[in-house]
């Protein structure tokens, strides 16, 4: 049997549909600053965050993923028998053995489809991207049977009270993959970086809270960004004789621990670009930034003078190419594995469809520990009807955000305390008010004495953006 050639691969493999779920409750970061007795602007200006979504004890990683998958399948009228691979990326672990994917299989029972590959991928915030890459490989392999792949990225990000708590969030994104897609994953140029480091990790399985070395984590993030960008450029040059810079992309989308770091990350790519220019080219394009050409990347992670220059020099690029992708991150917080894909959705809803066609997007995914990757997506003009369906599927995102319930910081704090106390408790009957959930949301009904979890679905549909 001969090896398959590149010409036999399915064409334009990429994203056919997207769906996002986020909690119906949020806490205002300005009010949280007052409640936490910190200086005004510490969370809103310093972190770049306005609101933070959170879950009561009625929601867990299983319920988030059940909700987002059901919504995507219903909204796009996808038969469950059409899915041949289902993989979940998450770091929110409820069981050391049973995958979230296996829980999602109850949605497939009526269809009778049990012939589905995939389980869960876990490495901090990178699991969703690992699931995406694995599913792309399946679609382009001899194992592909003509059906579609479904990737789910979901997490509940919570921290102990203190400086890190405002960087929490929660959500889930479902990504439908297949051939002839409007959002094509560019082949042959993605780059990765992986090393062993303890910047953020969760060794205590009895707690939802991570151990975090904040400064080390920022250094790891920026270092990984440098490495991935350099390798991405090398691959584009060697494979396609293409010289890559920020000018190559209409949008640049990052994993967002908090929005201010993303702004600094775009500036970091700008620094990488400037270092490749001659002194004369810098003088003409960016007068006053000539000193950046001699910056040593490894020595500049916390150099305030360099940071000030690159933030100023890249401000226009950031406003145009990255800030639109931070809409959800600013309003929800860090969703962990769905974060970069929430950024993709935010970018897509920021423009009319006609302005999206022909766009090329650069995406950077980072997971502590660490694993990081950079890749690109091309929005093709060949599948305009599919693009219309994809965009219409996420068109209600702004309305859903605006329909959420604002919760006082004191109640938010009590909710976090409750989650802390009942984490892994069995038997347990949740006490959160299900009336506050969006229509169509799956929620936890009970945990029995054997730690088995039972879920129910609130009647109605989430698509109309209403809670009740």
**pLDDT tens for residues 156-185?**
999 999 989 999 999 999 999 999 999 999
Say if residues 66 and 455 touch (Cβ distance below 8 Å): yes
Say if residues 157 and 338 touch (Cβ distance below 8 Å): no
Average pLDDT, the chain: 95
Q: Domain range for residue 271?
A: 6-464
Read off the pLDDT band of 462 (50, 70, 90): low
Q: What is the total count of domains within the chain?
A: 1
Distance of CA 241 to the CA centre of its chain: 30
The CATH code of the domain that includes 50 is 3.40.47.10
Read off the pLDDT band of 4 (50, 70, 90): very low
**What is the rounded distance in angstroms from the CA atom of residue 186 to the CA atom of residue 372?**
17
| Strand intervals (E) in 321-369 | 360-367
Is 437 inside any structural domain?
A: yes
Is 40 inside any structural domain?
A: yes
Instruction: For residues 41-62, give the mean pLDDT.
Output: 98
Read off the pLDDT band of 445 (50, 70, 90): very high
**Tens digits of residue pLDDT in 145-154:** 999 999 999 9
The verdict on whether 255 is a catalytic residue reads yes
Read off the pLDDT band of 188 (50, 70, 90): very high
Cβ contacts of 162-167, under 8 Å, gap ≥ 24: 163/214, 164/212, 164/214, 165/36, 165/416, 166/29, 166/32, 166/36, 166/42, 166/43, 166/47, 166/49, 166/52, 166/333, 167/47, 167/49, 167/257, 167/258, 167/333, 167/334
Percent of the chain's residues with pLDDT above 90: 94
Burial class (CB in 10 A: 0-12, 13-18, 19+), 278: exposed
Is 341 inside any structural domain?
A: yes
pLDDT of residue 466: 34
Instruction: For residues 277-303, give the mean pLDDT.
Output: 95
Query: Is the per-residue pLDDT at 1 higher than 70?
Result: no
Of 33, 59, 87, 91, the active-site residue reads 91
Instruction: For residues 216-244, give the mean pLDDT.
Output: 97
Cβ contacts of 395-402, under 8 Å, gap ≥ 24: 395/349, 396/463, 396/464, 396/465, 397/20, 397/328, 397/345, 397/346, 397/349, 398/349, 399/464, 399/465, 400/22, 400/438, 400/462, 400/465, 401/22, 401/328, 401/331, 401/332, 402/465
Of 59, 255, 259, 362, the active-site residue reads 255
The verdict on whether 110 is a catalytic residue reads no
pLDDT of residue 217: 97
**What is the rounded distance in angstroms from the CA atom of residue 61 to the CA atom of residue 170?**
9
Is 1 inside any structural domain?
A: no
Is 127 inside any structural domain?
A: yes
Of 125, 220, 228, 236, the active-site residue reads 125
Which of the residue ranges 15-29, 113-127, 224-238, 378-392 would you say has the lowest mean pLDDT? 378-392
Is 28 inside any structural domain?
A: yes
Query: Is the per-residue pLDDT at 41 higher than 70?
Result: yes
Query: Is the per-residue pLDDT at 6 higher than 70?
Result: no
pLDDT of residue 463: 52
- CA nearest neighbour of 33 among 16, 46, 14, 18: 46
**Tens digits of residue pLDDT in 292-334:** 999 999 999 999 999 999 999 999 999 999 999 999 999 999 9
The verdict on whether 55 is a catalytic residue reads no
Read off the pLDDT band of 5 (50, 70, 90): very low
């Amino acid at each position: 049997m001969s090896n398959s050639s590149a010409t036999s691969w399915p064409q334009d493999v990429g994203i056919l549909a997207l769906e996002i779920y986020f909690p119906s409750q949020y806490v205002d970061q300005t009010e949280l600053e007052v409640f936490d007795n910190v200086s005004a602007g510490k969370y809103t200006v310093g972190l770049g965050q306005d609101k933070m979504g959170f879950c009561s004890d009625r929601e867990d990683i299983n319920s988030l993923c059940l909700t987002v998958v059901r919504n995507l399948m219903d909204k796009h009228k996808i038969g469950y028998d059409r899915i041949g691979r289902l993989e979940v990326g998450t770091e929110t672990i409820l069981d050391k053995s049973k995958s979230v994917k296996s829980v999602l299989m109850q949605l497939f029972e009526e269809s009778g489809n049990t012939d589905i590959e995939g389980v869960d991928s876990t490495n901090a915030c990178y699991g969703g991207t690992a699931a995406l890459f694995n599913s792309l490989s399946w679609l382009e392999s001899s194992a592909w049977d003509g059906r579609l792949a479904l990737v789910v990225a979901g997490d509940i990000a919570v921290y102990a009270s203190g400086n890190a708590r405002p960087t929490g969030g929660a959500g889930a994104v479902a990504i439908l993959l297949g051939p002839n897609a409007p959002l094509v994953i560019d082949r042959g140029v993605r780059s990765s970086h992986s090393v062993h480091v303890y910047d953020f990790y969760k060794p205590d399985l009895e707690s939802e809270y991570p151990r975090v070395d904040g400064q080390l984590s920022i250094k790891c993030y920026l270092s990984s960004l440098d490495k991935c960008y350099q390798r991405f450029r090398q691959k584009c040059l060697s494979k396609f004789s293409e010289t890559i810079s920020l000018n190559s992309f209409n949008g640049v989308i990052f994993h967002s621990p908090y929005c201010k770091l993303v702004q600094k990350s775009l500036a970091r790519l700008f620094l990488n670009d400037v270092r490749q220019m001659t002194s004369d080219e810098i003088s003409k394009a960016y007068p006053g930034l000539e000193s950046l050409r001699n910056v040593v990347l490894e020595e500049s992670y916390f150099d305030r003078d360099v940071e000030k220059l690159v933030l100023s020099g890249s401000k226009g690029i950031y406003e145009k190419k990255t800030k639109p992708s931070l809409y959800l991150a600013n309003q929800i917080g860090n969703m962990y594995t769905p974060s970069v894909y929430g950024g993709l959705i935010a970018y897509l809803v920021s423009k009319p469809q006609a302005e999206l066609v022909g766009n090329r997007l650069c995406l950077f995914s980072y997971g502590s520990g660490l694993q990081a990757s950079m890749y690109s997506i091309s929005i093709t003009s060949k599948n305009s009807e599919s693009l219309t369906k994809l965009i219409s599927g996420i068109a209600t995102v702004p309305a859903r955000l605006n329909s959420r319930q604002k919760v006082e910081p004191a109640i938010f704090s009590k909710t976090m305390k409750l989650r802390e106390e009942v984490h892994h408790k069995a038997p347990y009957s949740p006490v959160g008010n299900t009336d506050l959930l969006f229509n169509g949301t799956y929620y936890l009904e009970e945990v029995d004495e054997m730690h088995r979890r039972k879920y129910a679905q609130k009647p109605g549909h989430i698509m109309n953006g209403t809670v009740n």
